[in-house]
């Protein structure tokens, strides 16, 4: 496993634990608001490939942090696109660290394997939008206009082509084809696993309307923990059009948190 970066200390990424965070290269999604384009887009990754951090360097760093750090957050990109992720996590666990995995939920097969082998202590799944089964044609049109304006195009991760599609809001948000059944399977796996977990959404005011947010709450219904993160429109979004979009005010965000409390056991706004 090659790594794109190591954050040596975080008090925020792993709830309740002092941890470090490692970033894996590449992602199968192309979320418009993504601020990690250098870790996602193949052409940008190519430019930093020579600076990738070898696994051995990371494990030497971790050895020196024994007794100081409690856990390791594995994030991306999307970690589960790497076949050797389970072995990588296994080595971290063998050193006595807790492991938190961040994922977009698109690889339930690997998630099931990781859970079965008890390789993770905490899983955070990003829920980008609501379940597409509730979607009306009007919603699709509104979202597609929002994302690209006229002439909607989408990235197809299977063949790296850009193609025109009639897409759901989940796919529109992620800028790629999405297997919603896979995401649902990941949701169900984690909720039944007994492992600590959270679902979380980065809320974009222009995208996450009341209708969209209701669909998300329906999707995470019954969850242990749901975290809301506010979108901050700034330079560096994967789709530059989204740099002009905004998050919610403090009150609006808090109202959404209160709404979430009726659907999940615990809900919080995270920075
Ligand atoms: S925000 Fe989207 S594109 Fe960016 S790393 Fe996460 S899943 Fe991938």
Which ligand 1 atom is the nearest neighbour of the CA of 37?
Answer: 4
Residue 176 Cα to ligand 1 middle (Å): 11
- 70-93, pLDDT tens digit by residue? 999 999 999 999 999 999 999 999
Specify the pTM: 0.89
Question: 175 Cβ partners below 8 Å, 6+ apart?
Answer: 29, 30, 31, 32, 147, 154, 155, 238, 239
Domain containing 62: what range? 5-270
Give the count of domains, the chain.
1
Which ligand 1 atom is the nearest neighbour of the CA of 202?
Answer: 1
**DSSP for 15-58, written as a single string:** TTS-EEEEE-S--S---TT-S-HHHH-HHHHHHHGGGPBPHHHH
Which ligand 1 atom is the nearest neighbour of the CA of 77?
Answer: 5
Q: Among the listed ranges 26-30, 45-49, 87-91, 137-141, which one has the minimum average pLDDT value?
A: 137-141
End-to-end CA distance of the chain: 29
Residue whose CA is closest, atom 4 of ligand 1?
34
CB 193 within 8 A of CB 203: no
Q: What is the CATH number of the domain that holds 247?
A: 3.20.20.70
Strands (E), 147-195: 154-156, 161-163
Residues with CB under 6 A from ligand 1: 27, 29-31, 34, 36, 40, 76-78, 104
What 8-state DSSP symbol labels residue 169? H
Residue with the larger pLDDT of the pair 155 and 265: 265
Q: What pLDDT was estimated at residue 182?
A: 95
3-state secondary structure of 213: helix
Which ligand 1 atom is the nearest neighbour of the CA of 174?
Answer: 2
**Ligand 1 pocket mutation pick from 23, 31, 32, 237 by most atoms within 8 angstroms of CB:** 31
Which ligand 1 atom is the nearest neighbour of the CA of 27?
Answer: 8
Q: What pLDDT was estimated at residue 141?
A: 61
Residue 66 Cα to ligand 1 middle (Å): 30
CB 197 within 8 A of CB 224: yes
- 253-262, pLDDT tens digit by residue? 999 999 999 9
Q: Among the listed ranges 32-41, 60-69, 121-130, which one has the minimum average pLDDT value?
A: 32-41
Residue 181 Cα to ligand 1 middle (Å): 18
Residue 254 Cα to ligand 1 middle (Å): 25
Report which of 53, 50, 73 is spatially closest to residue 61, judged by C-alpha positions. 53
């Amino acid at each position: 496993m090659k790594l794109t970066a190591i954050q040596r200390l975080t008090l925020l990424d792993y709830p309740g634990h002092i941890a470090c965070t490692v970033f894996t290269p590449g992602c199968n999604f192309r979320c418009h608001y993504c601020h990690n384009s250098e870790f996602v887009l193949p052409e940008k990754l190519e430019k930093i490939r020579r600076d990738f951090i070898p696994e051995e360097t990371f494990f030497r760093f971790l050895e020196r942090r024994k007794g100081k750090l409690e856990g390791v957050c594995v994030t991306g990109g999307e970690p589960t696109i790497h076949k050797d992720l389970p072995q990588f996590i296994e080595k971290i666990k063998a050193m006595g660290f807790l492991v938190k995995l961040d994922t977009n939920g698109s690889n339930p097969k690997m998630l099931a394997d990781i859970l079965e082998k008890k390789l993770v202590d905490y899983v955070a799944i990003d829920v980008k939008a609501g379940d597409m089964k509730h979607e009306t044609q009007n919603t699709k049109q509104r979202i597609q206009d929002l994302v690209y304006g006229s002439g909607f195009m989408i990235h197809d991760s299977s063949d790296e082509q850009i193609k025109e599609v009639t897409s759901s809001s989940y796919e529109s948000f992620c800028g790629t084809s999405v297997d919603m059944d896979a995401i649902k399977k990941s949701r169900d796996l984690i909720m039944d696993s007994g492992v600590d977990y959270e679902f979380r959404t980065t809320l974009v005011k222009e995208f996450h309307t009341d209708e969209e947010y209701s669909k998300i709450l329906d999707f995470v219904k019954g969850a242990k923990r749901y975290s809301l993160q506010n979108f901050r429109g700034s330079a560096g979004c994967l789709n530059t059009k989204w740099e002009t979009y905004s998050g919610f005010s403090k009150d609006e965000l808090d109202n959404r948190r209160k709404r979430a409390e009726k659907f999940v056991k615990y809900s919080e706004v995270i920075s």
